[in-house]
Structure 1
Amino acid sequence: MAQPKQINAIAVGAVGAGLVFIWSGLRGSSVLSALQDIIRGNRPSGSQVHGISAQSGPTGDASTGVTGPGKQYCASVFGGPSDPGTGSRGYHGDNLNGTMSYAELGMGKAMGNLPYRQKLRITYKGKSVVAEKLDIGAGGAGCGGHARGIDLWYQTAQALGFDGLGVVSVEPVS
């Protein structure tokens, strides 16, 4: 029986879980069996793992969405004078200036595909504001063991005393 050809490099990303696996040298293994090993939680046979990165934690999991009080996500800031390339229009054309607003990251899916204009109570270090979804964005690396799920419009961030990157709690508001 002929030995399967060596697979020199494979990269697999599971976006919803925030996992990235990169390995090489899968001698005697097919791509399918390697993927089955990963799904079962095993290291692929005959492989050398070069890097494993996990961004999602026990909270802020994109698969569950914002379902209850205190759901935590890594947050960042966008817009304003220090970010002139962003502009001031949301994804439906809303003028973001003067608003308490946010962007759901993962192109609008990081917190469960919240509807346009969904209001959230966002809390950071004891301060809270109610903001609405007026934009979406790509996202970035997580922080504090949480997936990056939300970008705060700079005026929303200012109201919270939030500067840069940090963990916030969110809950839906009717």
Structure 2
Amino acid sequence: MSVTDDALATAAAALGDTLRAQGLMMTTAESCTGGWVAKCLTDRAGSSDYVDSGLVTYSNAAKTGLLGVRESTLAEHGAVSDPVVREMVGGALAATGAGVAVAISGVAGPGGGSDDKPVGTVWFAWGRSAADTHSEVRHFDGDRDAVRRQAVLFALERVHGHLT
């Protein structure tokens, strides 16, 4: 699947409109997407009405230090896992006070994959609180750029769907 810049802008605008209408500020906790979700949201003028912050927590040390992801969770499940992205959402909400968060951790490639987590495996979590956190894993095809673009679009669309 080829994700265009226009598709990303459209999804970001839809989410931004919903965040603004609901009076919510959003934060992102991104690993493999490197802040791309936050970039898409802030490409639009007026995004300060609904974007609180974007945290790029690429290393495990950043995940623990900035988001409070437990070292035991990382050791047991690995960074690309449901428990880690759930803890990333909780940590991002706690650190920023934002009203909604999205977390992304995956294997964008071209290396780094394994039998259990091949290249293209991306875990997502989103929610307004620890109790309201939802998660999902996706397996995307393509090169590094394609995997990351698909991940950004999926994140924007999932958070928007959750709020509407």
- In which range does the TM-score fall when normalised by the shorter chain? under 0.3
**Structure-2-length-normalised TM-score:** 0.24
Q: Counting strand residues as a fraction of each chain, which structure ranks higher?
A: 1
